[in-house]
Amino acid sequence: MYTEKRGEWCFVIVPAAWSRKTIETILKEEWQVPKKLLHQFRMEKAVLYNGEAVRWTEAVKEGDTLQVWLFPEEVYGIEPEYIEADIVYEDDHVLIADKPYGMDTHPSEKGGKGTLANAVAFHLQTEGIHTKVRHIHRLDKDTTGGVVFAKHALAGAIMDRLLTERKIKRTYWALVEGKVKKGQGKIDEPIGRDRHHATRRRVSPKGDPAVTYYKAVRYLPKQNITLVELELETGRTHQIRVHMSHLGHPLIGDTLYGGHTSLLKRQALHAARIRLLHPITHEQIEVEIPLPADLKKFIQM
């Protein structure tokens, strides 16, 4: 599907698959625009067909143009701060940034600084883009790798839904203690809060369902650690860290869940790949995020 940003408007050339569908059907079924945003579009006359405001019952034709007011100026909601952001993917609708170790995804309080969201706000500012900073998911402070941001409200609403439906796939790499003897497997253990520790989670029969798939990629005998690739079916807090510790292979450096710090001072976890359907064009996006230097050095030993 061809789209083009012109000022505050997104121009969409109607593809063959949309031909003879009504504007309302496209908004409700193709993009699944939430009710609140649909109402806003109606009130603001934010959808035009061939440059004119028409009834949403109008059927569209292949090659014609839909205009949607997707890029109104907004306040960032987060203070832009000069921190160099490593942007690994960006178009008019989606941005994926590589979060470094020791940085929060977003501020925990109003006016907070030093986070990936502050860096993204500054990046947008340098591009002359004024939009609310919308992170779709987050990573722990000491976990590195890809974080997805939406560059307007509709992309944010669609990707929030995709995340809830588990249609944004994230692949992680971790370095864990010991040799993972079973080459691959599925950990299906519920996770709940640890009543003895404010931030720790644990496997608990009364917890929320949690499923992790793992595959041992390489055993490093010199350090007695294993490089493991993981995918989540669910997204519980600390899920990989809890599940690998439960398996008897805590992440190196992860003192909260039994890992040791002799090799690394933080948990060895990296969000290495993100796959999702583009919220507007429905094209497949797959982005690889390279390992940071402190993890890569183990692989090169």
Residues tagged active-site: 140
Q: What are the two backbone dihedrals, phi and then psi, of residue 72, each rounded to the nearest 5 degrees?
A: -65, 150
Asked if 278 and 297 touch (Cβ cutoff 8 Å), the reply is: no
* Distance in angstroms (rounded) separating the CA atoms of residues 26 and 20: 10
Q: Pairing state of beta strands 94-99 and 144-150?
A: antiparallel
| Integer CA distances (angstroms), 30 to 33, 113, 198, 236, 282, in order | 8, 38, 43, 29, 9
| Integer CA distances (angstroms), 42 to 24, 130, 272, in order | 10, 23, 40
* Distance in angstroms (rounded) separating the CA atoms of residues 109 and 113: 9
Question: Which two three-digit tokens encode residue 177?
Answer: 């203690």
DSSP 42-110: HHTT-EEETTB---TTPBP-TT-EEEE--------SS-------EEEEE-SSEEEEEEPTT--SS-SST
* Distance in angstroms (rounded) separating the CA atoms of residues 105 and 123: 15
| Integer CA distances (angstroms), 170 to 111, 147, 230, 266, in order | 30, 10, 9, 21
Asked if 14 and 64 touch (Cβ cutoff 8 Å), the reply is: yes
